[in-house]
Homo-oligomer: A and B are copies of this chain.
């Protein structure tokens, strides 16, 4: 594997990112990666770019997008005013899975959280993804919480 590069996503990455979100058994049912992209994706990208506490990132290799994740930097009063970093929407291209790219992506993401003064990083993952659980536990995460969701 070549050395991946991590950077903030640009508008020109949007179709590739949506393609990664759709390339997953669950994502296939939820997303629509057909071009031209739905306006809802463009609106969401604009909302992320307008918010200085959101960092949508891509991993690239030879100029191609091969991974993505989003970090939300969340200010809060708890724990003496601690900032926390929250990682969501982590995806690695099928062609690049099982090669350590996820680990590199997390190292990079944790470094972004440290640089923003976060003392805690958090994420949730589906209860039915044991491979993901092992991955996060190897990275030093603890499954101390339950993640509840409700559709509105």
A residues bordering B, Cβ < 8 Å? 14, 17-18, 21, 27, 30-32, 38, 40-45, 47-48, 51, 53-54, 56, 70, 72, 74-83, 85-86, 88-89, 110, 113-114, 118-127, 133, 136, 139-152
- Integer count of this chain's copies in the complex: 2
With a CB–CB cut-off of 8 A, which chain B residues contact A110? 150, 152
In angstroms, how far is the closest chain B Cβ from the Cβ of A71?
11
Contact B17 A81 (CB under 8 A): no
Interface of chain A, helix or strand or loop or mixed?
mixed
Cβ-closest chain B residue relative to A68: B77
Contact B76 A48 (CB under 8 A): yes
Cβ-closest chain B residue relative to A143: B146
